[in-house]
Structure 1
């Protein structure tokens, strides 16, 4: 089993860190793809895709056609969502990432 598939290994996995680029001025800048970021957050890749469409997800970068997440941005975004209770107002204000499916289907049927 590789480091990416074993849930008990340190994140980001060694093989992703090997692909990280060393930049002279800023030091180590590791980027991960949507699947790795979703796995770290215990979300589906589709959820992150919806967050990208609707907003409210972790910041991401586009390198041509490739979407990448900085590890530090994913960790910061997750830390900002830490709560100590589940208040009714909090649940009502949270966007559901699957809302993009509903919006897409309503656009389809509205034709």
Structure 2
């Protein structure tokens, strides 16, 4: 509850379909005399095929309970309708080699946004 384990149990079978146990949510005991049904509301129940670590569950809980303490978003940047740049950049390479050195710089350019290409 609230990212803290309340019950940890191992059941027979490799999955819920071949197990001899009954799959129950919101009841603590299958003994007829000791049924303890949950008296309240369940906000969220998740069933996954993956095993989640305690750290994953705590992080997910903290993210949902107080998103502003988990991540912050800055203001949105506005884009200009067009952009040009006539400035140049100088890249200097230094070496202590007495023989010629081949240098193959790699330039990466990201274009972000919809509908933009290098041809525009």
User: Is TM more than 0.5 here?
Assistant: no
Q: TM-score scaled to structure 1, two decimals? A: 0.22
Q: Which has the higher contact order (CA 8 A, sep 6+)?
A: 1
Q: TM-score scaled to structure 2, two decimals? A: 0.21
Greater gyration radius: 2
